[in-house]
């Protein structure tokens, strides 16, 4: 991985003011981060911690009170940087009286794309986000998830080098969220840089290479997910084709004691609800019309099938 | 029919362009200066070193030197005004006094400084993006079914005819008036509504976020909105004009159509009076409306009061016609009751500039001899008239009836024009010795009836440049669309204003201010008169000084030699200048009102349309520059 810096902020600060110029809220305080080419960067933090504010500052939708931000070496207020950026807003703010095709055509024109390129990209993207059957429907008829999908398509119409996603998985069902996460990883694999913000930790953990954690507008942690989360004082072990007996437990304790450690917990692994949900939906797709029967899962449901993209990463 | 168009103001002329440009430069320059001052006081102190560094060096140099020059010129102009005193320049003649010139230069420098970033930005604008944004506005309006509002026009069509009599001499005027009024109200209100709410709702619903994060120059959004709505409303206007025209043509009684469905192309002269107290005025008969001046037949022995029209730039095309039609519409003011139904009579005499004393007698004599037995209006008679008029440079029509406010006509032979257009260096040098050479063609009108007064204004007598007689539907139809062009200009004005204002203000406020400016524009003359009208005691400061000195009136301060008086009147002059600039914020809507030409059956000239278009552009351009800055400095995602 190269270390070319795509986005850089220097002491980026935003204080919201009211009409009379009085200070209302310090949403971001002296943020210094660097985002490198080809990585998925996560902005993490509770509600109101300044994630959206940061993104809007990067895009020039807000002007910094203090400090500055550079994207591709250009200041955030520079319009030409937008040529290489795709942005999915927190809620997809699109024109509801347009249909999917018109939407993509409209945004394509804003990039001054020639008609033929617009046409083919729009069709590709509609297919990619799975709206092929709904492409002639007006966006006002779309569900939240569908709007999120067309929003993503809109962000990719210019084949951007930097994709900025504000809460990309919000409003999506687990299936959709997984699809979105796969897509994000796919974008990274194509050499694009992705910035996403979220408060859903599992999303961030699944896909992000590096993260910044914000709270009350202040940077709390910043670095690679792996190193941030690695707990070097603990060891995890999973074994298969074996029953958990008292004997096994005692043996394990003995071995660990010899190495100066001790057992915290021993038990059967539980799957996450997400995996479980995905398995069920998968199953119902394979056997339409069949209802889930407790106990029958052993024979029919295979261990959770994780998407290739994500397994690759692990 | 009463086919005369009255003007409270002269229509726009190409000759007024230099004065207009100077005034524009001063006004816009004044506002640019205010903008620059605000920039230096408010915006610049907040700039950070990196902001300052981001501006290219040559731009900084250019900007600062323009500002410096502008300041110097303003100071010089200020000193000029204080010392040279206040002499209001004659509005008729365009003379640029030194302080005025300095003011203009200062304005130009400020415009350059404030306008350069805007101009530079224009180069970054792309047609495809503006087109996309315009198309979006267009679609939005259509899909929101705004257009259905225009079915309201149907009501007018359905019910207007109940109130308009089927045959009446005013029928064309009434029909055209009603139809244009309805179109005006519907179109302008819809245009205002559409355009003042579009950008604010974009910002409120945050749809603008996905647009400004594309490589879109923010000003393109303003242009896109403007052109989108303008295109839409233009289509609606064309459709409505077409339908209205059909409605008018169908609804008009054939007799009314034959008389007034026209589009005359008039050729006007300048009116002067002879043998009255003042060459610019006739006799005042005490009518309240001082539009017309009156002449009468004086008692025997006194010289005849004469209204004289001077025709200066004679169109050569008239010379080749056997007969040139001259139309006149006068007002009759009776001091004695006269016989019921009996007309008042006037005599019309036409003189070429080459006319010599005695030519008229010679003309009459030869006409008498050779004209015997000729039937009036026959080809032979016309040929004879032509020959004689060309020979003598004279023609007359005696005792033509004048009926109150009715357009009547007479013809003169084209030969007279031929005579007037001939080069005659000998006669010219002869005349030059006597004084200024008279106008190529003059028409003298005298009143033949004692104790009756005939009132006339410049536009009450004209030659018809168009040849054909009677009803001409095609030319009327074209003129009807030309009249709609005036409406189009008003529409563009409203859309432009509303879009510009809505870049900073919310929808309701934008709508309100647009309306105020527009209606203010309808009464602009009145506002201007109240604000800068010359009154007895001088300007506000002079009046105050007079009050403290307890003098009621005296010599005007501007003529006084005392320095303090000079300064007072100079200050007042500056005050008046400022007020005039402020009034220039109000659009001159009157200039875009052309439907009265259609109603009265006068052709709207292409020059006038062009000049009105130019005026609109000149008015809107500074507003758009303002919008450029407002958009650029607006924090799109901030709630305030
Ligand atoms: N336009 C605004 N005017 C005033 N305050 C604002 C504005 N926008 C955001 N804030 C404040 O700034 C702070 C940070 O907001 P921001 O939207 O960046 O949070 P966030 O991290 O994106 O939250 P969430 O997870 O809910 O999306 C909040 O306290 C919010 O109230
Ligand atoms: Mg947010």
Contact residues for B236 (Cβ-Cβ < 8 A; gap 6+): B147, B150, B187, B190
The whole-number pLDDT of residue A293 equals: 57
In whole angstroms, give the CA distance from residue A51 to residue A57.
10
Centre of ligand 1 from the C-alpha of residue A302, in Å? 43
**Best of B141, B215, B509 to mutate (most A CBs within 10 Å, chain A):** B215
In whole angstroms, give the CA distance from residue B145 to residue B151.
11
| Of A46, A51, A89, best ligand 1 pocket probe by most atoms within 8 Å of the beta carbon | A51
- Lowest-pLDDT range of B79-93, B332-346, B577-591: B79-93
Domain boundary among A204, A228, A252: A228
Centre of ligand 1 from the C-alpha of residue A52, in Å? 7
What's the first-to-final CA gap in chain A, in angstroms? 17
Q: Which residues of B192-222 are buried (b: 16+ CB within 10 A; e: fewer)?
A: bbbbbbbbbebbeebbbbbbbbbbbbbbbbb
pLDDT at B553 over 80: no
Which structure tokens are listed for A155? 């962000």
Phi, psi dihedral angles at B584 (to 5 degrees)? -65, -10
The whole-number pLDDT of residue A185 equals: 93
Q: Tell whether A216 and A291 lie within a shared domain.
A: no
pLDDT at B471 over 80: no
CA angle B598, B600, B603 (to 5 degrees): 50
Q: CB A60 to CB B212 under 8 A?
A: yes
CB-CB neighbors (< 8 A) of B206 in chain A: 89, 91, 93
Decide the pairing of beta strands B323-328 and B270-274.
unpaired
Nearest CA in chain B to A111: B215
Contact residues for B197 (Cβ-Cβ < 8 A; gap 6+): B502, B507, B510, B511
Nearest CA in chain A to B638: A62
Q: Which domains does chain B have, with CATH numbers?
A: 14-122 (no CATH), 127-259+473-531+588-633 (no CATH), 266-464 (2.60.120)
Q: Is the residue at A64 inside a domain? A: yes
Per the CB < 8 A criterion, the answer to whether A27 and A50 are in contact is yes
Please indicate if any CB of chain A lies within 8 Å of the CB of B204. no
H or E element at residue B379: helix B379-392
Q: Tell whether A86 and A192 lie within a shared domain.
A: yes
Q: How far is B586 from chain A (nearest CA, A)?
A: 28
Nearest CA in chain B to A74: B54
Domain that holds residue A77: 5-228
In whole angstroms, give the CA distance from residue B104 to residue B111.
10
SS3 A172: coil
Q: Tell whether A220 and A283 lie within a shared domain.
A: no
The residue contributing the CA closest to ligand 1 atom 31 is A48
Helices A174-189 and A273-286: angle between axes, nearest 10 degrees = 100
- Lowest-pLDDT range of A240-249, A296-305, B167-176, B395-404: A296-305
pLDDT at B336 over 70: no
State CA B329 to chain mean position distance. 22
A45 Cα nearest atom in ligand 1 = 21
pLDDT (tens digit per residue) in A183-214: 999 999 999 999 998 878 877 887 889 989 88
Q: Tell whether A132 and A185 lie within a shared domain.
A: yes
Ligand 1 binding pocket (C-beta < 6 A) is A 16, 24-25, 27, 45, 47-53, 90, 199; B 638-639
Number of compact structural domains in chain A: 2
Phi, psi dihedral angles at A291 (to 5 degrees)? -90, 155
Which structure tokens are listed for A298? 């052993």
Q: Is the residue at A261 inside a domain? A: no
- Lowest-pLDDT range of A3-12, B79-88, B191-200: B79-88
A19, A75, A79: residue with CB nearest B54: A75
A61, A97, A107: residue with CB nearest B637: A61
Q: Tell whether A51 and A105 lie within a shared domain.
A: yes
pLDDT (tens digit per residue) in B408-428: 888 888 888 888 888 888 888
In whole angstroms, give the CA distance from residue A189 to residue B573.
73
Q: Tell whether A206 and A280 lie within a shared domain.
A: no
State CA A50 to chain mean position distance. 17
In whole angstroms, give the CA distance from residue B302 to residue A312.
116
Q: Over chain B, what is the mean pLDDT?
A: 83
Q: Is the residue at A132 inside a domain? A: yes
Which structure tokens are listed for B471? 């009803």
Q: Is the residue at A190 inside a domain? A: yes
Mean pLDDT confidence for B127-152 = 84
Per the CB < 8 A criterion, the answer to whether B32 and B113 are in contact is yes
pLDDT at B107 over 70: yes
SS3 letters across A75-89? ECCCHHHHHHEEEEC
Q: B215 vs A123, B208, B212, CA distance in Å?
A: 22, 13, 7
Closest CA to B199 of B583, B629, B605, B627: B627
The residue contributing the CA closest to ligand 1 atom 17 is A52
Closest CA to B618 of B599, B639, B592, B637: B592
The residue contributing the CA closest to ligand 1 atom 30 is A48
The whole-number pLDDT of residue B1 equals: 37
Q: CB B206 to CB A93 under 8 A?
A: yes
Closest CA to B114 of B552, B634, B636, B632: B632
In whole angstroms, give the CA distance from residue B603 to residue B583.
31
A54 Cα nearest atom in ligand 1 = 18
CB-CB neighbors (< 8 A) of B640 in chain A: 17-19
pLDDT (tens digit per residue) in B590-637: 889 888 888 888 888 899 999 999 999 999 999 999 999 999 888 887
Q: CB A61 to CB B216 under 8 A?
A: no
Contact residues for B155 (Cβ-Cβ < 8 A; gap 6+): none
Q: Tell whether A66 and A195 lie within a shared domain.
A: yes
pLDDT at A266 over 50: yes
Nearest CA in chain B to A76: B213
Q: Which residue has the tokens 């008609």?
A: A115
CB-CB neighbors (< 8 A) of B213 in chain A: 59-61, 82, 85, 87
Per the CB < 8 A criterion, the answer to whether A126 and A100 are in contact is yes
Which CATH number goes with the domain that contains A222? Answer: 3.40.50.300
- Lowest-pLDDT range of A182-186, B466-470, B531-535: B531-535
H or E element at residue B220: helix B218-251
The whole-number pLDDT of residue A303 equals: 45
Q: CB A109 to CB B132 under 8 A?
A: yes
Q: Of the ligands numbered here, which is closest to the C-alpha atom of A45?
A: 1
In whole angstroms, give the CA distance from residue B405 to residue B329.
6
Q: Tell whether A196 and A292 lie within a shared domain.
A: no
Per the CB < 8 A criterion, the answer to whether B565 and B630 are in contact is no
Centre of ligand 2 from the C-alpha of residue B224, in Å? 30
Q: Tell whether A177 and A307 lie within a shared domain.
A: no
SS3 B203: helix
Tell me the count of A-B CB pairs closer than 8 A: 83
Domain boundary among A160, A194, A228: A228
The whole-number pLDDT of residue A308 equals: 43
Q: Tell whether A154 and A60 lie within a shared domain.
A: yes
CB-CB neighbors (< 8 A) of B122 in chain A: none
Q: CB B210 to CB A87 under 8 A?
A: yes
Nearest CA in chain A to B208: A93
Domain boundary among A193, A228, A263: A228
Phi, psi dihedral angles at B140 (to 5 degrees)? -55, -50
Q: How far is A63 from chain B (nearest CA, A)?
A: 6
Q: Is the residue at A202 inside a domain? A: yes
Decide the pairing of beta strands B331-334 and B344-352.
unpaired
Look at phi and psi of residue B413 and say left if phi exceeds 0, alpha if psi is from -120 to 50, else beta. Answer: beta
Q: Over chain A, what is the mean pLDDT?
A: 83
The residue contributing the CA closest to ligand 1 atom 11 is A27
The whole-number pLDDT of residue A297 equals: 47
pLDDT at A127 over 90: yes
Q: Is the residue at A209 inside a domain? A: yes
Contact residues for B519 (Cβ-Cβ < 8 A; gap 6+): none
Nearest CA in chain A to B141: A97
In whole angstroms, give the CA distance from residue B157 to residue B164.
11
For residue B298, the 8-state DSSP code is P
Centre of ligand 1 from the C-alpha of residue A48, in Å? 5
Q: CB A16 to CB B54 under 8 A?
A: no
pLDDT (tens digit per residue) in B258-291: 767 778 888 888 888 887 777 777 676 666 677 7
In whole angstroms, give the CA distance from residue A222 to residue A24.
27
Per the CB < 8 A criterion, the answer to whether B580 and B527 are in contact is no
Q: Is the residue at A262 inside a domain? A: no
Nearest CA in chain A to B218: A79
pLDDT at B407 over 70: yes
pLDDT at A13 over 90: yes
A90 Cα nearest atom in ligand 1 = 27
The residue contributing the CA closest to ligand 1 atom 12 is A27
Q: Tell whether A52 and A195 lie within a shared domain.
A: yes
Q: CB B215 to CB A75 under 8 A?
A: no
Please indicate if any CB of chain A lies within 8 Å of the CB of B145. no
B637 Cα nearest atom in ligand 1 = 1
Q: Is the residue at A243 inside a domain? A: no
Q: How far is A297 from chain B (nearest CA, A)?
A: 46
In whole angstroms, give the CA distance from residue B309 to residue A34.
83
Q: CB A110 to CB B215 under 8 A?
A: yes
CB-CB neighbors (< 8 A) of A60 in chain B: 212-213
The whole-number pLDDT of residue A183 equals: 92
What's the first-to-final CA gap in chain B, in angstroms? 59
In whole angstroms, give the CA distance from residue B452 to residue B295.
8
Q: Which residue has the tokens 């510009």?
A: B500
Of the segments B195-199, B202-206, B496-500, which one has the largest average pLDDT value? B496-500
Q: How far is B48 from chain A (nearest CA, A)?
A: 9
The whole-number pLDDT of residue A300 equals: 44
| Of A13, A18, A52, best ligand 1 pocket probe by most atoms within 8 Å of the beta carbon | A52
Q: Tell whether A13 and A149 lie within a shared domain.
A: yes
The whole-number pLDDT of residue A276 equals: 72
Centre of ligand 2 from the C-alpha of residue A28, in Å? 13
Closest CA to B199 of B185, B190, B211, B187: B211
């Amino acid at each position: 991985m190269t270390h070319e810096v795509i986005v850089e902020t220097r002491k980026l600060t935003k204080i919201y003011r009211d009409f009379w110029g009085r200070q209302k809220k310090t949403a971001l305080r002296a943020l210094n981060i660097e985002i490198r080419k080809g990585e998925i960067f996560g902005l993490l933090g509770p509600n109101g911690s300044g994630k959206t504010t940061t993104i809007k500052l990067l895009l020039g939708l807000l002007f910094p009170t203090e400090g500055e931000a550079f994207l591709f070496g250009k200041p955030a207020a520079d319009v030409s940087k937008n040529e290489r950026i795709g942005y999915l807003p927190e809620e997809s703010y699109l024109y509801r009286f347009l249909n999917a095709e018109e939407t993509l055509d409209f945004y394509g024109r804003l990039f001054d794309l020639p008609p033929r390129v617009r046409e083919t990209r729009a069709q590709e993207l509609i297919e990619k986000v799975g709206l092929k059957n709904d492409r002639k429907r007006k966006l006002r008829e779309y569900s939240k998830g569908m709007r999120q999908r067309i929003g993503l398509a809109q962000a990719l119409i210019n084949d951007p080098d930097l994709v900025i996603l504000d809460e990309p998985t919000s409003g999506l069902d687990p299936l959709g969220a997984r699809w979105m996460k796969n897509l994000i990883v796919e974008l990274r694999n194509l050499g694009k840089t992705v910035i996403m913000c979220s408060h859903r930790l599992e999303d961030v953990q699944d896909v992000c290479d590096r993260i910044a954690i914000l709270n009350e507008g202040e940077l709390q942690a910043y670095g690679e997910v792996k190193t941030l989360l690695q707990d070097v004082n603990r060891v995890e072990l999973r074994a298969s084709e074996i029953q958990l007996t008292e004997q096994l437990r005692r043996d394990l304790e003995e071995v660990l004691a010899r190495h100066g450690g001790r057992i915290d917990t021993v038990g059967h692994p539980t799957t996450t609800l997400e995996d479980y949900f995905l398995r069920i939906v998968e199953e119902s797709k394979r056997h339409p019309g069949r209802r889930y029967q407790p106990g029958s899962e052993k024979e029919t449901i295979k261990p959770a099938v994780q998407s290739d993209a994500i397994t690759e990463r692990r | 029919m009463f086919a005369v168009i009255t003007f409270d103001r002269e229509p726009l002329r190409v000759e007024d362009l230099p004065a207009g440009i100077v005034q524009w430069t001063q006004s816009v320059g004044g506002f640019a200066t205010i903008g620059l001052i605000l920039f230096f006081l408010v915006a610049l102190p907040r700039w950070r070193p990196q902001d300052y560094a981001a501006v290219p060096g040559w731009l900084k140099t250019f900007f600062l030197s323009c500002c410096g020059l502008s300041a110097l010129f303003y100071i010089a102009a200020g000193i000029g005004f204080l010392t040279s005193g206040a002499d209001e320049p004659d509005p008729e003649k365009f003379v640029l006094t030194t302080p005025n010139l300095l003011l203009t230069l200062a304005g130009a420098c400020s415009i350059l400084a404030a306008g350069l970033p805007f101009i530079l930005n224009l180069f970054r604008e792309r047609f495809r993006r503006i087109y996309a944004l315009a198309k979006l506005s267009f679609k939005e309006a259509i899909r929101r079914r705004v257009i259905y509002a225009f079915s309201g026009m149907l009501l007018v069509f359905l019910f207007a005819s109940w109130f308009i009599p089927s045959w009446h001499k005013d029928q064309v005027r009434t029909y055209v008036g009603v139809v244009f009024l309805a179109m005006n109200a519907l179109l302008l209100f819809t245009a205002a509504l559409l355009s003042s709410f579009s950008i604010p709702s974009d910002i409120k619903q945050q749809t603008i976020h996905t647009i400004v994060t594309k490589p879109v120059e923010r000003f393109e959004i303003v242009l896109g909105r403007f052109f989108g709505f303008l295109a839409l409303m233009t289509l609606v206007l064309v459709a409505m004009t077409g339908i209205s025209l059909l409605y008018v043509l169908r609804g008009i009684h054939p007799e009314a159509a034959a008389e007034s469905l026209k589009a005359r192309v008039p050729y006007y002269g300048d009116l002067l009076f002879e043998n009255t107290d003042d060459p610019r005025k006739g006799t005042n008969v005490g009518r309240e409306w001082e539009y017309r001046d009156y002449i009468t037949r004086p008692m025997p022995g006194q010289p005849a009061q004469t209204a004289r029209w001077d025709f200066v730039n004679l169109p050569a095309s008239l010379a080749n016609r056997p007969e040139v039609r001259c139309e006149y519409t006068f007002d009759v003011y009776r001091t004695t009751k006269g016989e019921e139904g009996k007309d008042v009579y006037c005599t019309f005499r036409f003189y070429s500039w080459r006319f010599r004393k005695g030519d008229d007698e010679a003309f009459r004599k030869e006409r008498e001899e050779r004209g015997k037995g000729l039937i009036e209006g026959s080809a032979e008679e016309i040929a004879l008239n032509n020959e004689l008029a060309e020979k003598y440079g004279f023609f007359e029509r005696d005792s033509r009836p004048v009926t109150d406010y009715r357009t009547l006509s007479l013809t003169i032979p084209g030969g007279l024009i031929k005579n007037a257009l001939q080069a005659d260096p000998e006669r010219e040098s002869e005349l030059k010795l006597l004084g200024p050479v008279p106008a190529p063609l003059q028409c003298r009108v005298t009143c033949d009836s004692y104790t009756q007064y005939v009132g006339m204004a410049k536009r009450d007598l004209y030659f018809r440049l168009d040849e054909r007689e009677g009803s001409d539907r095609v030319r009327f139809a074209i003129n009807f669309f030309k009249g709609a062009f005036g409406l189009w200009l008003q529409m563009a004005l409203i859309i432009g204003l509303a879009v510009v204002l809505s870049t900073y203000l919310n929808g309701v406020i934008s709508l309100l201010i647009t309306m105020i400016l527009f209606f203010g524009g309808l009464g602009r003359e009145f506002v201007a008169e109240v604000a800068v009208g010359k009154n007895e005691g001088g300007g506000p400061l002079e009046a105050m000084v007079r009050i403290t000195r307890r003098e009621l009136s005296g010599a005007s301060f501007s003529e006084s030699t005392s320095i303090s008086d000079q300064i007072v009147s100079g200050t007042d002059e500056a005050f008046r200048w400022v007020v005039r600039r402020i009034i220039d914020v109000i659009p001159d809507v009157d200039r875009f009102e052309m439907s009265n030409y259609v109603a009265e059956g006068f052709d709207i000239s292409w020059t006038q349309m062009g000049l009105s278009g130019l005026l609109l552009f000149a008015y809107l351009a500074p507003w758009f520059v303002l919008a450029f800055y407002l958009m650029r400095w607006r924090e799109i995602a901030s709630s305030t």
